[in-house]
Structure 1
Amino acid sequence: MILSGRLSAKLAVLCMALSAVAAVTVVTAPSAHAADPVAINIVDVAGNLQLTQKAFEAFKAKYPQLVSNITFTNAPAPQLPGKIKAMQAAGRSDIDLVLTGTDALAAGIEQKLWMKLLPDQAAAFPGVLDKYAPGPRKMQDVAQGYGIEVTYMPAGPLIEYNPAKVTDPPKTPEQLLAWCKAHPDKLIYARPANSGPGRTFLMGLPYVLGDKNPQDPINGWDKTWAFLKQLNDCIPYYPGGTSAVMKELGEGSRDMTVTVTGWDINPRALGLVPAEYKVQAFDNMTWVNDAHYMVIPNGVPKEKLDVLYKMMNFMLEPAQQAMTFDDGYFYPGPAVKGVTIESAPTKSQDVIKKYGRPEYAQLLADRPHVVPLNAAAMVAAFQKWDREIGAQKSK
């Protein structure tokens, strides 16, 4: 009986000790095993990395405990949706974040490729909608909650030309058509589905021509489609992207193209297009604004999502937004309130001072602004252009 009592006492002490160890283990385990940093794969189909790559790298440098590596890849916008759709069908998640313009944004929304961020994940983006300046705020609505706007440009459409070859630049679509017919093969523009200037021209024409519904490319653009078919007769071909257009313009094989503010400033700053080339707006133009967005493909794992949300918020901080003035590529660039050229890097300030257009400020103030087509209408417009215009001369 005495032995039994002593054994029971020892067992009781042992159980208490084990319980204490277990309690300590439960309390200390989570903090002792923090989540490993993740590798992030970013694909850019808008040229946005020119504006934002340094900021993404700054996030990695600031949070090494969250991000082990960031891979940056560029891809053509029209090819990305098909690639992501195949990836998702195979149950793979190779792309974590996409930087896109309204083109692949729209295609991805139509094909249900993107994760719905707002309002579904609103807690991860506190006060995000209040951060945007008025113009960018309207562009954020274009994303329909599937993307977070990171850069902004009141785009165009504008005409860019060689003043040594074009002494009387066109101020109306009718004058543009007449000039093109008189100078065949000297006007060129890129396929709208993969070109900011191309799609801005496409979406801006219904306003200039007075079509019955500029937001309905199928039933409301009779004048626009008729005009583009006439213009087609004097255009040699449609390059697959804007860079090829600017190369031909700069080399002198073409004398005129359509452009937007950023594609006017940046190629001249880089020396691809002569600095003395000029721009002309249509007399009754309406600005069709543009933006770049951060979107997340469906299927990205949870441990990466938390890091991506933090990264996306970081990209909207004033210091990172100031970097987006860059060399004028997406002029002006910043989407959030209160970020002025004075806060940009010195190099950016010098570029804008030298290659910016004094007339832009007045044009931006005087002419109305609209958002682009919604996703379904934009996809329809691209398909109709590809089928009825581009298919005739694509190369």
Structure 2
Amino acid sequence: MTFSGRWSVRLLATCAVAVMGVATQVPAARAADAVTLNIVDVAGDLQLTQKGFEAFKAKYPNMVSNITYTNAPAPQLPGKIKAMQAAGRSDIDLVLTGTDALAAGIEQNLWLKLLPDQASAFPGVLDRYAPGPRKMQDLAQGFGLEVAYMPAGPLIEYNPAKVSNPPKTPDQLLRWCKAHPDRLIYARPANSGPGRTFLMGLPYVLGDKDPMDPIHGWDKTWAFLKQLNDCIPYYPGGTSAVMKELGEGTRDMTVTVTGWDINPRALGIVPADYRVQSFDNMTWVNDAHYMVIPKGVPKEKLDVLFKLMNFMLEPAQQALTWDDGYFYPGPAVKGVTLEQAPAHSQDVLKKYGRPEYPKLIAERPYALPLSAQAMVAAFQKWDREIGAQKTK
């Protein structure tokens, strides 16, 4: 898929867009036993994984006759699955999600428990993960398997022609925003990786008493966000809209993460010369994508899905997650280097990657995102107290 075509898919992430997999020609007798898998992506993860899924279908035509792919907004998915399960239907077989819908689904008891319940189907799976991703896998609480990893942010992205002295502290960001009203935006955290990373990263930068407790431990963060709210025009429903406005020059600054910095510039949505700035005392808040199975999927599909999930953690499929920097770096398992990625990925990252990222990744501390329950509470409080009148 071309750069522009792939970006179009992401711009349509607010709609459910079915993309049918290419049918594999197999003998009729074998196809009769094969299943169709319906995969829903609420994280933009198909950019990293669709080629791997198609490779599985090509390798095992006796198991999979077809795969359909649908993009959907994360906040709407749990309600849809809950209604589906209440009706006794099983329309979705596998969900690709970030920590947002993962957390909401755990809280609402929507996902099939994989570990330790189905441990025999995933021998040694936890030992495959690199150290950072291994900690992120714990967030799934056994309800999913991590398929991609990113030490995300928070970072500030800006137009250097309009911002000569980029903010290095939250106070400087607030002062810049007040001096340049309507020139800074970020997306609703419940449906934006950069938005939620900014939300979860602020307690570390501001020195709140408990960065893992958004209700009782974020006094400084909520006070800061309320002040920042005064100079922000509105909060888009997703990151794609933010990057479009940034690239068009409607805005001069936003919050970002490594992948959402690199990939839109590689796609030509944001000018290549736009810059990023980290907070002086930043702590990386890691991010990840997960494969989860809704409850109610029939056993004949579960057996295939378990094999598929193992397949997606093999080095060949993991090397594809370097992609075009969308979830930089991407691989979750040990030992998958950029040199193993397709040549195109290597070229893109050589041209649009940031030389400062390896240094920042090596030097700055890391933190896990909030737990599922705390993340849902943080999203609800933000929606209620910050974005209630300005979210579109």
Into which bin does the TM-score normalised by the smaller protein fall? over 0.9
Counterpart AA for 1:102: T
Quick one: which of 115, 118, 129 aligns to 1:118? 115
Quick one: which of 218, 221, 225 aligns to 1:221? 218
| Distance change >3 Å, CA 118–CA 349, structure 1 → 2 | same
Unaligned residue ranges in structure 1 (runs of 5+): 1-31
Distance in 2 of aligned mates of 1:231 and 1:109: 31
Matched, 1:230 2:227: yes
8 Å contact kept, 2:105–2:111: yes
Residue number in structure 1 paired with 2:321: 324
User: Where in structure 2 are the equivalents of 1:8-23 lying within 5 Å?
Assistant: none
Quick one: which of 42, 48, 54 aligns to 2:51? 54
Distance in 2 of aligned mates of 1:371 and 1:99: 19
Quick one: which of 378, 382, 385 aligns to 2:382? 385
Identical counterparts, % of pairs: 86
Unaligned residue ranges in structure 2 (runs of 5+): 1-28
Counterpart AA for 1:120: D
Residue number in structure 2 paired with 1:299: 296
Residue number in structure 2 paired with 1:164: 161
Distance in 1 of aligned mates of 2:277 and 2:55: 38
Computing the radius of gyration over CA atoms, which structure comes out larger, 1 or 2?
Answer: 1
User: Where in structure 2 are the equivalents of 1:1-395 lying within 5 Å?
Assistant: 36-395=33-392
Distance in 2 of aligned mates of 1:316 and 1:171: 38
Counterpart AA for 2:201: G
8 Å contact kept, 2:30–2:62: no
String of CA shifts for 1:315-356, please: whole Å, max 9, x gaps. Answer: 000000000101000000000000000000000000000000
String of CA shifts for 1:171-210, please: whole Å, max 9, x gaps. Answer: 0000000000000000000000000000000000000000
- Alignment TM-score, normalising by the size of structure 2: 0.92
Q: Secondary structure at the match of 1:380?
A: helix
Q: Secondary structure at the match of 2:388?
A: helix
Q: Secondary structure at the match of 2:227?
A: helix
8 Å contact kept, 2:201–2:282: yes
- Alignment TM-score, normalising by the size of structure 1: 0.91
8 Å contact kept, 2:155–2:255: yes
Counterpart AA for 2:257: V
8 Å contact kept, 2:31–2:61: no
| Distance change >3 Å, CA 63–CA 227, structure 1 → 2 | same
Q: Where do 4+ consecutive residues of structure 1 move more than 2 Å?
A: 32-35
Residue number in structure 2 paired with 1:8: none
Distance in 2 of aligned mates of 1:33 and 1:161: 55
